[in-house]
């Protein structure tokens, strides 16, 4: 090997080492050092059903989680204004699915949420067709660590009383993805002995959607990961309705998310 060749390899190795250190150094999480703003509590009370149902101690835990999320994850508007309510709705969408896991203080795979100005009519939203996911997306490849949400869809999810909530939908995808595969089985959340029963139930419930015998939105029949996300929206938005119509599914979702919503 020539000296130039050896030098080149040496530089490459040093480069790789530096890149490795930069990529894998633990990111220090910022901790809130100010009280939760009173006007934020009022906004949560007004707009977030899930928060409204909590007792005072749980509300305080929810607020701390939301505050810490907002310190550590950037919310960026792409051609739209982002105000306090938008930030709080993104943070609530993140908090709701993992509220049953007090040790989960953050989504390790998320640095930034981008809000887009997409507009669409109410009936497009209600149909939950093939285009459903353009309202939100979890980034892959170079978009890893980012989530995209339509700002009007985010707001509508919290305003309406139906089964849909795009913010919750996308954060459930992120939880599903956190074990390395987006497959409808959130392995960090569900104890191992329930994995097979859960996958069996998904198959059965997807079949029921296709046969028109399910209250779960049609989009849930496109794949197991979409089933989990759509069923989770239903679970958090209309728990009593889901419990009445699909008791077995309801019970399994309570087990996955460690939350008693009955």
Q: Is residue 149 part of the contact set for Zn ion (CB under 5 A)? A: no
Alpha-carbon distances, residue 89 vs 29, 67, 80, 115 (angstroms): 21, 12, 15, 11
Q: Is residue 138 part of the contact set for Zn ion (CB under 5 A)? A: no
Q: Which stretch binds Zn ion (CB under 5 A): 9-17, 99-107, 130-138, 240-248?
A: 130-138
Pattern of binders to Zn ion over 22-61, x per CB under 5 A? Answer: ----------------------------------------
Among 44, 90, 229, 231, binds Zn ion (CB under 5 A): 229
Pattern of binders to Zn ion over 179-218, x per CB under 5 A? Answer: ----------------------------------------
Residue with smaller CB distance to Zn ion, 95 or 232? 232
Q: In what order do the strands lie in the sheet with 112-116?
A: 74-77, 112-116, 146-150, 136-138
Residue with smaller CB distance to Zn ion, 230 or 249? 230
Shortest distance (Å) from residue 225 CB to Zn ion:
7
The interface with Zn ion within residues 64-93 (CB under 5 A) comprises: none
* Residue 77 host element (H or E): strand 74-77
**Cα–Cα dist 93/170, whole Å:** 8
Residue count, binding to Zn ion (CB under 5 A) = 3
DSSP for residue 218: G
Residue with smaller CB distance to Zn ion, 63 or 226? 226
Residue with smaller CB distance to Zn ion, 63 or 170? 170
Q: Is residue 133 part of the contact set for Zn ion (CB under 5 A)? A: yes
**Cα–Cα dist 221/207, whole Å:** 7
**Cα–Cα dist 68/77, whole Å:** 20
**Cα–Cα dist 161/88, whole Å:** 18
Q: Which stretch binds Zn ion (CB under 5 A): 20-28, 73-81, 192-200, 224-232?
A: 224-232
Q: Is residue 95 part of the contact set for Zn ion (CB under 5 A)? A: no
Shortest distance (Å) from residue 241 CB to Zn ion:
21
Shortest distance (Å) from residue 207 CB to Zn ion:
19
Q: Is residue 63 part of the contact set for Zn ion (CB under 5 A)? A: no
**Cα–Cα dist 112/56, whole Å:** 30
Sequence-distant (≥ 6) Cβ neighbours of residue 100 within 8 angstroms: 257, 258, 259
HSE value, Cβ hemisphere, 13 Å, CA-based, for 16: 6
User: Mapping DSSP to helix (H, G, I), strand (E, B) and coil, where does residue 190 land?
Assistant: coil
The dihedral through the CA atoms of 126, 132, 138, 139 has a sign that is negative
**Cα–Cα dist 157/152, whole Å:** 9
Residue with smaller CB distance to Zn ion, 68 or 221? 221
Site for Zn ion, rule CB under 5 A: 133, 226, 229
């Amino acid at each position: 090997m020539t000296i130039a060749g050896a030098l080149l390899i040496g530089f490459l190795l040093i480069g790789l080492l530096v890149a490795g250190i930069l990529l894998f150094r633990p990111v220090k999480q910022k901790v809130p050092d100010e009280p939760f703003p009173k006007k934020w509590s009022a906004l949560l009370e007004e707009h977030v059903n899930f928060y409204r149902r909590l007792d005072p101690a749980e509300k305080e835990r929810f607020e701390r989680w939301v505050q810490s999320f907002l310190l550590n994850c950037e919310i960026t508007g792409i051609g739209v204004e982002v105000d306090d309510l938008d930030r709080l709705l993104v943070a609530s969408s993140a908090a709701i699915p993992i509220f049953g896991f007090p040790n989960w203080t953050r989504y390790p795979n998320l640095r930034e949420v981008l809000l887009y100005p997409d507009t669409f009519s109410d009936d497009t939203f209600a149909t939950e067709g093939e285009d459903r996911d353009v309202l939100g997306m979890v980034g892959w490849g170079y978009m890893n660590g980012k989530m995209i949400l339509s700002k009007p869809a985010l707001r509508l999810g919290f305003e309406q009383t139906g089964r849909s909530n795009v913010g919750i939908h996308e954060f459930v995808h992120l939880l599903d993805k956190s074990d390395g595969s987006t497959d409808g089985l959130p392995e960090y959340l569900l104890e191992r002995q329930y994995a097979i029963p859960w996958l069996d139930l998904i198959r059965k419930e997807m079949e029921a959607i296709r046969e028109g015998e399910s209250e779960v939105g049609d989009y849930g029949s496109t794949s197991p990961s979409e089933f989990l996300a759509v069923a989770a929206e239903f679970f958090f938005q209309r728990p009593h309705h889901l419990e009445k119509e699909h008791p077995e599914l309801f019970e399994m979702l309570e087990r996955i998310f460690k939350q008693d919503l009955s």
